[in-house]
Structure 1
């Protein structure tokens, strides 16, 4: 690994250690892991790898379905939270620290390889896609659930861009993984039976846009990192505060309590062979 790439991975690991992503995943989007497991039709004793697993939003439901699950993530703090959650439910998951762009597994080692709003944050998309397919056996299945560019989280990253530290050259925007044409190009002719559909998850935890802003400012690693990048620039912090409130406001569904529908792409495919 070059010094530049090592620094990038260190930065990525640090961003997701900020705030409290396990709480975000549990309180806002817990249903998405089960949605992906259901879409992949996971059955007992299948060998399943959850890539960029975080705290196990998909890995734990896969294990509850009886699969033999390995959950891999770059950030040790997320894995620790996942171990605790799995232990509380009495399910067996193998937790492993590792890089989505260089998976430490043999070719064809898994029956199902999946990722739930995880692999999209690896910086080099083709490298990650190649690894997902490499470790899946011929005839095995791949399942991906990722935020779309036009959906709420895609808009969030566009909103953050002026305030966040600029990414190094060659790093691709995470929400591209929510574009079916982009993902199709990454996977190419190595997969068949591709099914892709856009869906939404309803988020209604927040009473007001300001409450959403404060929650993400405290808990969502990329937002925390963007605020830290602004340092003591009070004017820029105020601008970012305002933009996050406006983002939530324009995405509200109806009057009253803040309710939002966050769009994602659910894609499943089968490896050739």
Structure 2
């Protein structure tokens, strides 16, 4: 095994552990649940189609796709998230294959699926080109790919920008996740291997939080990347307090007040394309 392979395995292990922190399933089901059905509708899932959801988490796309009649495989690097989705699927009587897999090296043959999706998932694979190549490889010619990614200028993209000065430096060769939220980046990754690529920026209204403080504290408890940054500052209470203030300021700037709480709008890029 080469040093590069050893380093990559260690990086993936850290990613797997990060997404197991807190309760991402709560974020997916309580805060951004509408994204999955939006993506299923955008790619036009039909009964009987073979669909792969990459970086599926607990099934934000896989579950509604199965409800629509697709034959779904949900893959993710973090088995703890898949187990949460498996429980929901079992309770609903949905037949979904839940499989641990790396988005940059999917364990599926060429042309295996009619539809391939990822909802704020594959964007977090550290190496964008291999992940983009894999999405194309496993999708048959004429098949469809659908992605939802947070944009760099939207709220979640800005949250990552806010956390960046406090976080350990990224590993060599890793690309920033919100780049997937730029249409030009996706077009560059796929080039002429797709046709009919359509990209549009949309906004997800968020009304789950009653205050900016509640948002900040919720993400500190439940969202793996935020938890990881705070843990990296465990022996630096002054920097933890500064990050507290910066996240609070970010949320205040994005919040629209109302009597019973607040509303934020989180921007994402929705991309659909047909594989050549």
Q: In which range does the TM-score fall when normalised by the shorter chain?
A: over 0.9
Runs of 4+ in 1 over 6 A off after TM superposition: none
Match of 2:15 in 1: 12
Instruction: Give, in whole Å, the separation in 2 of the partners of 1:271 and 1:233.
Output: 48
Instruction: Give, in whole Å, the separation in 2 of the partners of 1:234 and 1:81.
Output: 34
Match of 1:219 in 2: 222
Match of 2:67 in 1: 64
2:237 matched to 1:234? yes
Aligned-pair Cα RMSD in Å: 0.9
Instruction: Give, in whole Å, the separation in 1 of the partners of 2:17 and 2:170.
Output: 14
Q: Deviations over 1:37-56 (max 9, x none)?
A: 00000000000000000001
2:223 matched to 1:202? no
Deviation at 1:219, TM superposition (A): 0.2
Instruction: Give, in whole Å, the separation in 2 of the partners of 1:252 and 1:140.
Output: 39
Deviation at 1:255, TM superposition (A): 5.2
Deviation at 1:92, TM superposition (A): 1.1
Match of 1:126 in 2: 129
Instruction: Give, in whole Å, the separation in 1 of the partners of 2:171 and 2:129.
Output: 17
Where structure 2 has 5 or more consecutive residues not aligned to the other structure, the ranges are none
Match of 1:258 in 2: 262
- The alignment partner of 1:161 has SS state of helix
1:268 to 256, 261, 272: 272
2:151 matched to 1:151? no
- The alignment partner of 1:149 has SS state of coil
- Matched ranges for 1:26-175 at <5 A: 26-175=29-178
Q: Deviations over 1:157-203 (max 9, x none)?
A: 00111111211111000000000000011111010011110001011
Instruction: Give, in whole Å, the separation in 2 of the partners of 1:210 and 1:55.
Output: 26
Instruction: Give, in whole Å, the separation in 2 of the partners of 1:261 and 1:224.
Output: 22
Count of aligned positions: 272
Instruction: Give, in whole Å, the separation in 1 of the partners of 2:255 and 2:117.
Output: 30
- The alignment partner of 1:69 has SS state of strand
Q: Deviations over 1:23-69 (max 9, x none)?
A: 00000010100000000000000000000000010011000000000
- TM-score, normalising length from structure 2? 0.97
Match of 2:247 in 1: 244
- The alignment partner of 2:166 has SS state of coil
Deviation at 1:150, TM superposition (A): 0.3
Q: Deviations over 1:127-174 (max 9, x none)?
A: 000000000001100000110000011001001111112111110000
- TM-score, normalising length from structure 1? 0.98
